[in-house]
A and B are shown apart, each in its own frame.
Chain A
């Protein structure tokens, strides 16, 4: 078989894997605005949605880059920020699927009966992962491209930098993948699929945070390429030696390249491309010998190493009936159902439960990171406190009250609408058919879903927010207003996102990724949140510029927000309920 034939097989395998692998399998007809899948109308609508989605994403991304550079003009900090963001996203949402897919995919037994080598299987899996990674990377590329242009770099230069942004995740992903492999191969974790899936969710999260920490504190602290830039005039050997730093091999130093010159950027991209190919080859070589053996054992339900001390007990089917059986209301039963899903399906947990927790932390990190660069000095927590207190004069409070309360609502709306609520109904999949035959009150069902979404979306950002507010000495009146505003925004966001999920459900998702990748729902929520942002901020501005008492301003804003939240909730209960009854699966 020639190399090109081999590559063809690997690409074909990667395509089939990405389409067919699943952990939750549901089969039903797929329609888009009533157009059956495969029809001309379906294809046209899908194409329009995809184009619109890309435009929205590119637009948002570009605006982000534009705003950052407009405020800081600091391409170096932005380079680091973009790479860190990309790595966090990929590690949190991508590597997990590869680990699980590589060893526990439902389709593995079928592949094993075919004349496919372990190298092909591993390569195809990694290829699929890289494709997804690049798709995620594309969300950040417009931001970086715009930032680089604004900094004054040319188009070719900026493109070379963007390529390196995309490549930056490859080494990290390969390290994470190898760690996964070693965990399965050499620890008792690999002896049980369920235990592995559960523990791996935590492991991959810790791994993500650890890697970001390492990159931030070690890689970005060494001089890396900046040494090379400085020694260029001193000769080739010094130049080469300056390149040889651990950071260089791990993460492309685009912050240095963005401020150096085009030639260096191009040479570096080529070198890093070769490095990535080497990393891929190493990953395949390390895993290929024992891969099939591991998979065979996993499929047979056996232990990977009989001599290995069994520190973690094999999953036990033992249970105590009295402990397991709990009398619950319908409301509590639905909430428990979703949380059981999260417990059993780490991918779901990661995408819908962990993300809402980590996102605010990440946003805080971005805020801290960018403000530090903005003021071009090391700021401590006490500096922020002083800044906050200096800003909170009575006049400023009067002006800012309305604006900040509105802003709080919008932030909470965003967080609420893009979390679990986004697919809270679609997650039922085919099981929804069973629900329809049961004596279920769908108002109770929706209420349970909203409570679940709020439990996931509210506590962490709210605690962070309250802690911050208390730290800067916000008055009780404002604190209560902000908390109420946050809760109302969350309720509104959750309700509206669920409503659109019910109106355009994805009950035939083949896997958790498909539940997440729903461009139309995403666009609607982003546009809706955008409109709400403008409307509420305009209201805040109008109120702030009128000389009204603070309590009256807060009362008006909170009243408007309460109405918005209530409308969202009522729409979900009424429209959503009638739609549920008409869904036929």
Chain B
């Protein structure tokens, strides 16, 4: 119906018919090669500095960070953060194996429920897939172990991130997904949803002045786990 009419209108505008096969082949090759453009110099740094840049950028965007030596230190870090913010110690956690492997029982006061977040969820816990130093951005793709609602419905979102998963630029995160992710429905790599999250939710719609806590989380707290020997340890 309208499909061919619309494509023909475009071709008429471009003063040609359907692209010749050799040109279409070149475009298909460009899609397959997905060439990178200029990557700004700001993230071209040694590993340790890249991680520092990431943390600095999270704080610049009104997120908070905590750096711990290993997974064993996460329960204490989470409990302390919640107590410090005067928040309840009930969390809804993404059912991700890395989060499941954390020794939560060492802090019995923390109550974890696994699943997706609900409208009433106060605190949620997510496992980051990767993070981008260039702008302090978390990469949160959806899959059965990483529900999207975890990133959206809670008042406070805590995100666990392995230092080894911090990359410099967005392009490097895309290449991680291309190499590691497989989507059964499409046979490609793109999951249903990929959220790039930079700081807590905000709005400047009232008098163009920034206020935190619009529809998404009011607080975004990153717990960085130092698992990357090449990146050096926390100071």
- Does A associate with B in a complex? no
Please give the residue numbers on chain B whose beta carbons come within 8 Å of chain A beta carbons, in ascending order: none
